[in-house]
Amino acid sequence: MGAIQNKLEEPVSEELALVRAAKKGDDSAFEELVRRYDRNVFRIAQHITQNREDAEDVVQEAFLKAYGNLAKFQEQSKFYTWLVRIAVNEALMKLRRRKPERTVSLDEDIKTEDDSLPREIADWSPNPEQQYTQAELREILSKTIQGLPPGFRTVFVLRDVEGLSTEETAAALELSIPAVKSRLLRARLQLRERLGRYFQRRDGENGKTGNTRNGDVKNGDVASGDGNQ
Amino acid sequence: MKCSEFLNELTSYLDGVLDEKTKSELENHLSWCHNCYVVCDTTKKTIEIYRDSQLYELPEDLRSRLRSAIMTKCQQHKKRGPQSV
């Protein structure tokens, strides 16, 4: 088992050329930047806000803010990292407005106990995602990630879905590198455990011999008491 | 390597940024500890499933509507001057 494959990175110089042209007033260069990153910004925004209309607003507001502040962009990071930072802030503002009863922040109190250590170890089916239709799978994935605190799911989305590096994620979220690493581990483990409810290997699967008996899941089935299979 | 030490290194291992020595200690642990092997394997699958999921894809029609709204607002901003954002 090896490392997961990283996404290919866009050449930075091309992005920088567009940014410099846009700074000089070339709107078609800015439009090209919108074209490049609108889907990423939308995904990030929807993951954070969990609301489609809010995510659409965030896309518009983030790009408009980037446009208005382009002169202040120092080119010390990638434009994309800077844009993500703007978008995350806009998305968090939306979330706060929608859920004023609780403070929403990336620094919200996250337990540092062993709250996300694996409790459910049971193995998964060989190709678990193929047990479901595309629509069902999206529903499962969406519901599962929405159960994570915003600080966890944002780190997971930036690192694992959008492919930002640990350093870029830390810069975009104004978090320390150890904080990003610790949240990423917890997010990954919590998602793994929650997805296990849907993807667990059933008895007799994959050519296994033996009877199909209920309650035969071993290794401490602590987490799946809600029968969400 | 103990199971708790494996967990501490899991993220770096999956990201492919472990030094050779720690990596081989971890893989040695995985070769005999079934539980950690399963955790590692299913965590890797979790990441891959999310990465490949096309969750929250922006539909093309909405995409072009948003883009033209953004560019229109940018033009208005340019006309009004830099204080308007």
| A152-193 residue pLDDT tens | 999 999 999 999 999 999 998 989 999 999 999 999 999 999
B42 with B25, same domain?
yes
Distance between terminal CA atoms of chain A? 27
Q: If pLDDT is split at 50, 70 and 90, which confidence band does B32 have?
A: very high
B2 with B23, same domain?
yes
Where are the CATH 1.10.10.10 domain residues in chain A?
128-207
Class of residue A93 by CB neighbours under 10 A (exposed 0-12, middle 13-18, buried 19+): middle
Domain around B15? 1-53
Q: Do the Cβ atoms of A118 and B39 come within 8 Å?
A: yes
Q: Are A32 and A18 in contact (CB under 8 A)?
A: yes
Instruction: Give percent above pLDDT 90 in chain B.
Output: 78
Instruction: Select from A209, A154, A152 the least CA-distant residue to A185.
Output: A152
B42 with B8, same domain?
yes
From A71's Cα to the closest Cα of chain B, the distance in A is 10
From A31's Cα to the closest Cα of chain B, the distance in A is 7
| pTM score, whole prediction | 0.81
The Cα–Cα gap between B66 and A119 comes to 44
Q: If pLDDT is split at 50, 70 and 90, which confidence band does A222 have?
A: very low
Q: Into how many domains does chain B fold? A: 2
CATH architecture of the region A12-98: Orthogonal Bundle (1.10)
Q: Do the Cβ atoms of B69 and A60 come within 8 Å?
A: yes
Where are the CATH 1.10.1740.10 domain residues in chain A?
12-98
Q: Which CATH number fits domain A128-207: 1.10.287.70, 3.40.630.30, 1.10.10.10, 3.40.50.720?
A: 1.10.10.10
Angstrom CA distances, A10 to A16, A69, A102, B50, stand at: 11, 23, 38, 21
State which amino acid sits at residue A168. Answer: E
**Does A106 have pLDDT greater than 80?**
no
B12 with B47, same domain?
yes
B29 with B70, same domain?
no
What average pLDDT score do residues B43-69 get?
A: 93
Instruction: Select from A145, A154, A62 the least CA-distant residue to A105.
Output: A154
Q: Which region among A64-78, A144-158, A197-211 has the lowest average model confidence (pLDDT)? A: A197-211
B42 with B62, same domain?
no
Find residues 64-83 of chain B whose CB sits inside 8 Å of chain A: 66-67, 69-71, 73-75, 77-78, 82
- Comparing CB atoms, the residue among B42, B51, B75 nearest residue A160 is B51
B33 with B70, same domain?
no
What is the SS3 assignment for A219? coil
Report the pLDDT value the prediction gives residue A38, as an integer from 0 to 100. 97
B80 with B40, same domain?
no
B47 with B74, same domain?
no
B39 with B7, same domain?
yes
